[in-house]
Structure 1
């Protein structure tokens, strides 16, 4: 199926590793020009972007930016527009997944997770939506949420789950406001994906996680990225304001 993403310009936050890297690669494979936003591991991100360009013959760029800071986001947007002249797709993927029980959680740790996982999505979406509306772009904003935004199962991640639940509602709210102008806003809710973020947890208890997944295995980033590519395409024109379950059945 041709998703008609050739020549589209996509920004993927946290796009240089884990699920974000899978999303960046699938979009590049479909012919999109990808701006890979990152905050750590610069050397490897730059190499990843070079590899994408060589493999898929699209123009990809790595841009540093802390998504919890409005000034960094504005710089990423400005650099993207200077390089490409347009933004068609925003994938709000960057996030953190620390562990702490509520009674032991530092106030600053709570704020940090909310700032990155929820407020960062708001800050980036708002600014890209303003650009799309002013430019009359029929674009896509796709938010990475989580199974944890729908149902809470393991302890130690109250800040993460609260932020992701907020992203699910924010997706609905933004879609309600801007979908009439041809900008579709959707979310994806992965379950357990094999990424550097959860390497430690899977090393200790992968078998226990697999027991909770009806399809019987941990997903790979590319599998989730296929759903993002579909939502970014014109094949998903009539989908907005919803978050798709990509958990392998964990939400059943």
Structure 2
């Protein structure tokens, strides 16, 4: 068994620093993913941004590469296709030498009532949100085991991984419950290799992605009337991407070195 290092003698600056480490962030072209990539790179990590929109990934990478200490690159990545995930893992190792942090952030959230849900759409949601997180974790685990450096896998879950949310989100809620369970089980299996697995469960945050989805689907089943967190929170405002990114940075850093298997709620007290 590879024991986790005791970091009690390190300063706060040393604990937060990701200098010398490399990360992959899926769905990192905008929104939560780009905010996460920014904080990891700001902490010194080299970061590969993967996104189904290759141009978006490269634009985000160019923006962050010019403004953060870490090196940032972007590439096309479709998490519903295992070869695409494997290619991104290979590129990260080729470019940076290793994969130390892998963030499974990519996801979709169509709102369709149960009676209108097709098999094809159900399969698509589970393919991206659940199987995509599994395949990303598997690629990360293989790379981390081979390097014998250990590492951290972080799954972006959702408050939907703890409860039902709103009409039309059966597939999404099911997929996020799956990812939360996956996080627990993979933590057990990968701990002997020095690999930590954590989940981060955001409440609703304003992002380009969900704003675009709302604009393109004015008749969406799930609206602010169904999801109060879209309007405010117990802390007085709606979440923004960096609220989540800071918690992911904590999980990725040695501040959280003795944590694995947990899913951290970032919900402004929604579950209270």
Residues 207-246 of structure 1 mapped to structure 2, 5 A cutoff: 208-209=228-229, 213-246=233-266
Match of residue 110 from structure 1 = 122
2:16 paired with 1:38: no
Q: Is the 8 A contact 2:40 2:47 kept in 1?
A: yes
Instruction: Choose from 224, 231, 249 the match for 1:205.
Output: 224
- Name the one with the larger helix percent: 1
5 Å matches for 1:90-105?
A: 90-105=102-117
Residues 213 and 63 of structure 1: CA distance in aligned 2, closer, same or farther (over 3 Å): same
Contact 1:210 1:217 in 2 (8 A): no
TM-score where L is the length of structure 1:
0.94
Flag as ranges the 4+ runs of structure 1 deviating above 4 A.
200-204
Residue pair 1:212, 1:250 contacting (<8 A) in 2 also: no
Displacement, 1:167?
0.2
- Alignment check: 8 A CA contact 1:13 1:91 kept: yes
1:55-78 CA-to-partner distances (Å, cap 9, x unmatched) read 113211101111111111111111
Does structure 2 retain, via aligned residues, the 8 Å contact 1:210–1:216?
A: no
Q: Which residue of 2 aligns with 1:150?
A: 162
Q: How does 1:127-142 map to 2 (within 5 A)?
A: 127-142=139-154
Question: For 1:23, which of 23, 36, 45 is the aligned residue?
Answer: 36
Q: Which residue of 2 aligns with 1:126?
A: 138
- Is 1:178 the counterpart of 2:190? The answer is yes
Question: 5+ unaligned residues in a row in structure 2: which ranges?
Answer: 1-11
Partners of 2:186 and 2:56 lie apart in 1 by: 34
Does residue 1:78 correspond to 2:98, yes or no?
no
Distance 1:121 1:44 in 2: 21
Deviation (angstroms), 1:216: 2.5
Q: Deviation of residue 201 (structure 1)? A: 4.7
Deviations 1:82-137 (A, max 9, x none): 11111100000000011101110111000000000000111111121122112212
* Residues paired across the two proteins, number: 251
Q: Structure 1 residues 169 and 160 mapped into 2: Cα distance closer, same or farther (>3 Å)?
A: same
Residues 4-27 of structure 1 deviation map (CA, whole Å, 9 limit, x = unaligned) = 201210000001111001101111
Which structure 1 segments of 5+ residues have no match? Answer: none
* Counterparts of 1:208 and 1:176, CA distance in 2: 35
Separation in 1 of the partners of 2:181 and 2:270? 20
The answer for the alignment partner of 2:75 in structure 1 is: 63
